[in-house]
Amino acid sequence: MAFSRNARAGAVLAAAALLGGALWLDRPESAAARQATDYAYVHADFTVVAPRVAGTISQVLVEDHQQVAPGDLLATLDDRDFAAALAGARARVDGARAALDALQAEQARQQAAIRQAAAAIDADDASLSLARAELARYRSLAAEGSGTVQQRQQAQARLDVLQAGRAQHLAALEAARRQAEVLDARLRGARASLAQAEAAHTAAQLQLSYTRITAPVGGMVGHRTLRVGAQVQPGKPLLAIVPLEHAYVEANFRETQLARVRPGQRVRMAVDALPGVELTGRVASLGPASGVSYAPIAPHNATGNFTKIVQRIPVRIEFDAGQPALARLRVGMSVRPEIETGPGLDSP
């Protein structure tokens, strides 16, 4: 009887073990307390430096793998053509400014001519008033018999002359005003020409400044093709600046691993190039799409037979600051990150 009871107990335990093993093997991959992958590399958002003007390299001031700061001078181009263009642009600005000054002086003189013409009309008005009074007096004297016809005729002639002079002065005033309008238009054109010349001068200054190639960001120089005497073209890469202090890991996890992965979770990382060194970091973000989603040709379509392939989603992992080994990292190094997702089915 005892043997029978022991046999039954052993059978129950064996069945329970088999059931537990089956459940453990059949558990979701995402249920594990840690998620790891070998498909991960060190990345950095490096900047490619390219010239903005064509020219010949006259000086190279950096070496391969040199550390540079933002604004550091990397190389210079032969600037003689650009300096000559700037001098020409400056001369055109001076010429446009002189033309504007001359027109402004002419406009001031024209305003004086307008005032002079207006003053002449005022004088004509005063003389006409006197001439009309004299004509009226001589007419009255002639009617009374005290004055002569000749005096009356002379007064009439003097009035007619003054009226003609006033009409001439009015025409001169109108012509002076029209000429002022012409000068105003020429002044607007001169100001526009000056603005155009100043814009060309600014552009020439920029072109000259582009002969000095500086570092847009800080980091380490890599992929340098700068050589003295080499011809360069706008947009052609000359070197890359890699900000290693801002390096991060891009890990491509299987979609079946990500159900419990969240930003902020702790990550332990082993780097192949740094044996025995463990780095720590945090999950920064999960990518919005799998890698193949960005492919120009879709890897899956609605025709033919279908084979399901587990996709991988990029996960960005940022390193914790203050780790001495970070200085030894280089972009492209292989990493094995392990994300701590919290208690899972495999936790003790």
- pLDDT, one tens digit per residue, over 161-171 is 777 877 877 88
Tokens (6 digits) for 220: 């380490």
**282 — phi, psi (to 5°)?**
-135, 150
pLDDT at res. 204: 96
Predicted confidence band of residue 2 (pLDDT cuts 50, 70, 90): low
pLDDT at res. 348: 41
Stretch 335-340: mean pLDDT, rounded?
96
Q: Is the pLDDT higher at 128 or at 4?
A: 128
Tokens (6 digits) for 38: 């070998």
Could you write out the DSSP letters of every residue in 315-335? EEEEEPS--GGGGG--TT-BE
Could you write out the DSSP letters of every residue in 44-109? ---EEE--SS-EEEEEE---TT-EE-TT-EEEEE--HHHHHHHHHHHHHHHHHHHHHHHHHHHHHH
Most confident of 248-252, 300-304, 338-342: 248-252
CB atoms within 10 A of CB 248: 17
Helix ranges, the chain (H): 2-25, 80-144, 149-209
pLDDT at res. 169: 79
Q: Report the alpha-carbon distance of residue 47 to residue 243 in Å, rounded.
A: 8
Predicted confidence band of residue 345 (pLDDT cuts 50, 70, 90): very low
Q: Are 29 and 345 in contact (CB under 8 A)?
A: no
Q: How far is CA 153 from the centre of its chain?
A: 84
Residues in CB range of 28: below 8 A, 6 or more apart: 256, 259
Torsion of CA 140, 145, 147, 149, to 10 degrees: 90
Note if the pTM is more than 0.75.
no
Domains of the chain: 29-45+243-340 (2.40.30.170), 47-78+212-241 (2.40.50.100), 80-209 (1.10.287.620)
Q: Are 263 and 281 in contact (CB under 8 A)?
A: no
pLDDT at res. 20: 55
**C-alpha angle 319-321-327 in degrees, rounded to nearest 5:** 80
Tens digits of residue pLDDT in 276-294: 999 999 999 999 998 778 7
Evaluate if residue 140 carries a pLDDT over 90: no
